[in-house]
Amino acid sequence: MELYVPILVLAALSAGFAAVNLLIAAVAGPKRYNRAKLEAYECGIEPTPQPVGGGRFPIKYYLTAMLFIVFDIEIIFLYPWAASFDRLGIFGLVEMVLFIVTVLVAYVYIWRRGGLEWD
């Protein structure tokens, strides 16, 4: 049972931290509501001027974010491979090169078709 005591302590600490922070924000923070803040999933930035009834909004954020996620995942896969590279041998190398090439193809496509140009 002693084994679980540190875990329980850590859990209690993190929960307390989260609760205290929420409490402080509620007590001390100024409350200025605006439209952008009330939108679902708002991040505080109004997504550029838009016509009545929805219409278009720039997707540059999303493109960049998705590109980031793609390479993020690539890195995550690279870690365990790197850790056991010597044991996976040529097979591991070939598979990983294939994986990187595939992701690179997507990158090349986005790059060539102007997905990385902000304007």
Partner 1 sequence: MSLLASAVLAAPAPTPDIPAPTIEYGLLSPMLLVFGIAVVGVLVEAFVPRAHRAAVQMPITLLGLAGAFILTIVVATQDITPASGQGWGKLAAMGSIGIDRPTLFIQGTILILALVSTFMIAERRTDEGSFTAQAAATPGSAAEREGLLAGATHTEVYPLVMFAVGGMLLFPASGDLITMFVALEVLSLPLYLLCGLARRRRLLSQEAAVKYFLLGAFSSGFFLFGAALLYGYAGSVQLGAIARAVRLGPGGQYATEVYGASGQFAQVTVGSNALLMLGVALLAVGLLFKLGAVPFQSWKPDVYQGAPTPITALMASCTLVAAFGALFRVFYVAFDGLTWEWRPMMWLIAILTMVVGAVVAVTQTDVKRLLAYSSIAHAGFILTGMIAADAAGLSSALFYLAAYGFTTIGAFAIVTLVRDAGGEAGHLSRWAGLGKRSPVIAGAFAFFLLAFAGIPLTSGFIGKFAVFQAAIAGGATPLVVVGVLSSAVAAFFYVRIIVLMFFSDPAPDGPAVVVPSVFTSAAVALGVAATLVLGVLPQSVLDLADQAASSLFVR
Is 116 near partner 1 (CB under 8 A)?
Answer: no
Q: How far is the CB of 117 from partner 1 (least distance, A)?
A: 14
Q: How far is the CB of 16 from partner 1 (least distance, A)?
A: 25
Whether the Cβ atoms of residue 99 and residue 73 lie closer than 8 Å to each other: no
Whether the Cβ atoms of residue 70 and residue 100 lie closer than 8 Å to each other: no
Nearest to 107 by CA among 78, 69, 59, 57: 69
Is 106 near partner 1 (CB under 8 A)?
Answer: yes
- Name the CA dihedral angle for 29, 33, 37, 43, rounded to a multiple of 10 degrees: -30
Q: Which is nearer to partner 1, 29 or 55 (CB)?
A: 55
Task: Determine the distance from the C-alpha atom of residue 21 to the mean position of all C-alpha atoms in its chain, rounded to a whole number.
Answer: 23
Contact string (CB under 8 A) for partner 1, positions 41-60, x = contact: --------------xx----
Query: What does the binding site for partner 1 look like in residue numbers (CB under 8 A)?
Result: 55-56, 84, 87-89, 91-92, 95, 102, 105-106, 108-109, 111-113
